[in-house]
Amino acid sequence: MSSAATTVAQSAPSTAGRPASTGAADSTPESTETGTGTEAPAVDYSGYKLVPAKHPGRWVGTVLVALGVAAVLWSLATNPRWEWGVVAQWFTAQSVVNGLIETLKLTAISGALGFILGFVLALMRLSASPLLVGVSWTFSWIFRSTPLLVQLLLWYNLGYLYEKVSLGIPFTDVRFFEVQTTTLISQFAAAVLGLTLNQAAYSAEIIRGGILSVDQGQLEAAAALGIPAWRRSTRIVLPQAMRAILPTAFNEIIGLVKGTSIVYVLAYSELFYTVQVIYNRTQQVLPLLLVATLWYVVITSVLSVFQYYIERHYSKGAVRNLPLTPLQKVRRFFATHAPADRKTLR
Amino acid sequence: MSTAVTESPTAAPAAPAASSPAATRGHVEITDVRKTFGATEVLKGVSLTVPPGGVAVIVGPSGSGKSTLLRTINHLEKVDGGYITIDGELVGYRLRHNKLHELREKDILKQRTDIGMVFQNFNLFPHLTALENVIEAPIVAQGRPKEEARKRALELLDRVGLKDRASAYPRQLSGGQQQRVAIARALALNPKILLFDEPTSALDPELVNEVLDVIRELATSGTTLIIVTHEMGFARDVADTVVFMDEGQIIEQGGPQNIFTNPREPRTRSFFSKVIEPAFNI
């Protein structure tokens, strides 16, 4: 190593414009060339300092956008008509929090049931039975082609179409169980039913797409190993499909969070309806809409964090090395920078 | 029918079956198997016998039906005619009241645990580590306790030279390492028969030998091996029987010395003259 370096150093003086002080220690690639006796040694660039290319356009863009952001923030902070005081007053009011809980409840129940039903529908659609395929296709077709608003109103008014719901033996008078439709379908039930079925139609397609994205060879290998069909779906195919499913699925869930606000037509007291009731009384329309908006932003932000970590979980094995999470990056930054900073502060 | 394979024990480097003391299971009998995809008949009545512990290497031009034949042996491909038995037991069907009833999924899966398969593209499960790939089938298909499966899997990974990579994910392994994990995964079920579908075709040339060495070692272990490959040198080393297929038929079969140096059929001769000469004249 050291002998190679000296050979290079000796050959260096013939090279014009080469910095004298540097280069001797870190230019091993040259040594082979020198060793083989090349007549005119190539210029050794290893000692020069690197200067990155300049991007003036990028700087202009950055300044313009920063000005825009500053203007928006300034107006939000200084325009008294936003009435931030009213926002703060209502943000954690009991009635608003109750509405928020109802919204979260609707999202969680309809989201979970919707995706479970969607998984079943996706498997039906991929089955070999033409009837199962047909039923699954028709389900998605109907629920994707009708507005959610109409579906909700239809479920809520089911009592008009069918007065009683009963379980018994068809074409006889035997009834095990019978109930008035209007008592069975409360506002909550109509909301969950409508949101779930609508969600299932969309998630079925998302899950089917994910399953189709998994290489056929995976199923073949699993079958050749004698792994049972259900286990093949849940252990081999689904975890791999999740990578394709998750981004779109979170889109759907985030859409569902805000989609629950449509339930206000049933006078169901979720977040949006609650806020409406309040501003109809106090006439502070915009600040209260802002309260609801801020809560939706909070929920979406929390969901985005979940999404990041869940996607990361399912990317195991898909990338050679997982990149650091933002949190890990921050920790590493402080681990490497903090001691020096403290010293300078003292 | 069975005479075809055992006709040339004198020419074979090692007499099949007899040389492997443990070889009492894994007798494969393929009888007049036919298979059609759409309008093309890919197998036109193929019959082949591989004795317990035997090593049959199937060679031939691409599209000759080699892989399809291999896939019929574990019922990944249903046959349209003929039948296959393993140790006298029909593959994929059961004889009842003078009719062959196709087995239910559950029974087919059970049969498959006796037949390991190694694929051209490895088909390792990318979201599971090497170890998890190997223990999955013994646990769910054979109901082995997890700790026992783990112990056996580590032994097998050691056998293919990858004990220290047990916790690596497939994408963190080279092609040759992945294929060796795939072999360990197939061995974990303790199969009677191992099927290799062009196990080295997707590998870089310098990685081919590490996989072939593992298969070579298996050839002496008493497990019946049926190998589809384009590696003629390897076929000559390891095979008891070399089977040459073309256009959905077995054209010729025999001991490697016989078939490579003195093929009877003109088609065999012309195929080998294209494939072997460059390789042997290095």
Q: What is the pLDDT of residue A167?
A: 81
Q: Give the percent of chain A with pLDDT over 70.
A: 86
pLDDT band at A120 (very low <50, low <70, confident <90, very high): very high
d(CA B59, CA B235): 9
Q: How far is A227 from chain B (nearest CA, A)?
A: 5
Topology of domain B3-114+194-280 in CATH is Rossmann fold (3.40.50)
Q: Which two tokens stand for residue B259?
A: 């078939």
Per-residue pLDDT at A24 exceeds 80: no
Give me A36's structure tokens: 């083989």
CB atoms near residue A190 (< 10 Å): 22
Check whether A32 has a pLDDT greater than 70: no
CA-CA distance, A148 to A268, in Å (whole number)?
Answer: 15
The highest-level CATH class for domain A92-315 is mainly alpha
- Tell whether the model's pLDDT for residue B12 goes beyond 50: no
pLDDT of A140 strictly over 90: yes
Q: Could you give the CA distance from residue A29 to residue B170 in angstroms, rounded to a whole number?
A: 34
pLDDT surpasses 60 at A138:
yes
B124: left (phi over 0), alpha (psi -120 to 50) or beta: beta
Query: Looking at residue B281, what is its pLDDT?
Result: 47
Q: Give the closest-approach CA distance of B11 to chain A in angstroms.
A: 34
A218 touches chain B (CB under 8 A): yes
pLDDT at A11: 45
Q: For the segment B37-58, what is each residue's pLDDT rounded down to a tens digit?
A: 988 999 999 999 999 999 999 9
Is B132 an interface residue toward A (CB < 8 Å)? no
Spell out the SS3 assignment of B94-138: EEECCEEEECCHHHHHHHHCCEEEECCCCCCCCCCCHHHHHHHHH
What distance in Å separates residue B76's CA from the closest CA in chain A? 7
How many Cβ atoms from other residues are within 10 Å of residue B135's Cβ? Answer: 25
Per-residue DSSP letter, A122: H
**pLDDT tens, position by position, B21-31:** 556 789 999 99
- B249-B251-B254 Cα angle (round to 5): 125
d(CA A32, CA A46): 15
Residue B7 has pLDDT above 50, yes or no: no
Residue ranges in A27-83 assigned as alpha helix (H): 29-35, 56-78
The interface predicted TM-score of the complex, written ipTM, equals: 0.84
Instruction: Sketch the domain layout of chain A as residue ranges.
Output: 2-35, 92-315
Global pTM value: 0.74
Count of C-beta atoms within a 10 Å radius of residue A57: 8
pLDDT above 80 (res A9): no
CB-based contact A16:A40 (threshold 8 Å): no
Q: For residue range B114-124, list pLDDT tens digits in order.
A: 999 999 999 99
Phi, psi of B245 (to 5 degrees): -115, 145
Beta-carbon contacts of B265 under 8 Å, excluding residues fewer than 6 positions away, are: B244, B251, B252
- Helix crossing, A271-282 with A285-314: angle to 10°? 160
Task: Say yes or no: A128 contacts chain B, CB-CB below 8 A.
Answer: no
Q: What is the pLDDT of residue B158?
A: 94
* Percent of chain A scoring above 90 in pLDDT: 56
Q: What is the pLDDT of residue B8?
A: 40
Nearest to A320 among B128, B141, B172 (CB): B172
Confidence of residue A328 (pLDDT cuts 50, 70, 90): confident
Q: What is the DSSP string of chain B?
A: -THHHHT-TTTSSS-TTTT-TT--S--EEEEEEEEEETTEEEEEEEEEEE-TT-EEEEE--TTSSHHHHHHHHTTSS--SEEEEEETTEESSEEEETTEEEEPPHHHHHHHHTTEEEE-TT----TTS-HHHHHHHHHHHTT---HHHHHHHHHHHHHHTT-GGGTT--GGGS-HHHHHHHHHHHHHTT--SEEEEESTTTTS-HHHHHHHHHHHHHHHTTT-EEEEE-S-HHHHHHH-SEEEEEETTEEEEEE-HHHHHHS-SSHHHHHHHHHHHHHHHT-
Partners of B124 on chain A (C-beta within 8 Å) are: 221
Interface test with A, best of B121, B123, B128, B183 (most A CBs within 10 A): B123
**A197, A21, A11, A31: which is closest to A114 by C-alpha?**
A197
Neighbours of A278 (CB within 10 A): 21
| pLDDT confidence of residue A151 | 93
Residue A61 has pLDDT above 90, yes or no: yes
Distance CA A37, CA A24 (A): 18
Phi, psi of A211 (to 5 degrees): -65, -40
What band does A6 get if pLDDT is binned at 50, 70 and 90?
Answer: very low
pLDDT at position B273: 84
Joined tokens for residue A186: 């409360």
Per the CB < 8 A criterion, the answer to whether A195 and A110 are in contact is yes
CA dihedral A147, A149, A153, A154 (to 10 degrees): 10
**Pairing verdict, β B224-228 and B55-59:** parallel
Q: Strand, coil or helix: what is A226?
A: coil
Question: pLDDT-based confidence at B63, cuts 50/70/90?
Answer: confident
Condensed to tens digits (0 to 9), the pLDDT of residues B170-202 reads 999 999 999 999 999 999 999 999 999 999 998
Please provide residue B30's backbone torsions phi and psi, each rounded to the nearest 5 degrees. Answer: -105, 125
pLDDT of B277 reads 57
Nearest by CB to residue B126, choosing from A224, A231, A240, is A240
Span B263-279, mean pLDDT?
81
Average pLDDT over residues B159-176: 93
Torsion angle of the four alpha carbons B165, B166, B172, B173, in this order, in degrees rounded to the nearest 10:
60
Predicted local confidence at residue A172, as pLDDT: 78
Categorize the per-residue pLDDT at A164 as very low, low, confident or very high, splitting at 50, 70 and 90: confident
- With a cut of 50, say whether residue B11 has pLDDT above it: no
Question: Three-state SS for A328?
Answer: helix
SS3 A42: coil
Between chains, do A220 and B76 touch, taking CB under 8 Å as contact? Answer: yes
Whether A113 has a pLDDT exceeding 60, the answer reads yes
Contacts of residue B100, defined as CB under 8 A and 6 or more positions apart, other chains included, come to: B83, B90, B93, B94
Rg, Å, chain B Cα set:
19
Q: Which of A158-167, A335-344, B145-154, B213-222 has the highest mean pLDDT?
A: B145-154
Residues of A in contact with B121 (CB under 8 A): 217
Domain range list for chain B: 3-114+194-280, 119-190
Name every residue whose Cβ is closer than 8 Å to that of residue A195 and which is 6 or more positions away in sequence. A106, A110, A114, A148, A152, A256, A259, A260, A263
Distance between CA B279 and CA B234 in Å, rounded?
Answer: 11
**What is the reported pLDDT for B22?**
53
Contact B126, B170 (CB under 8 A): yes
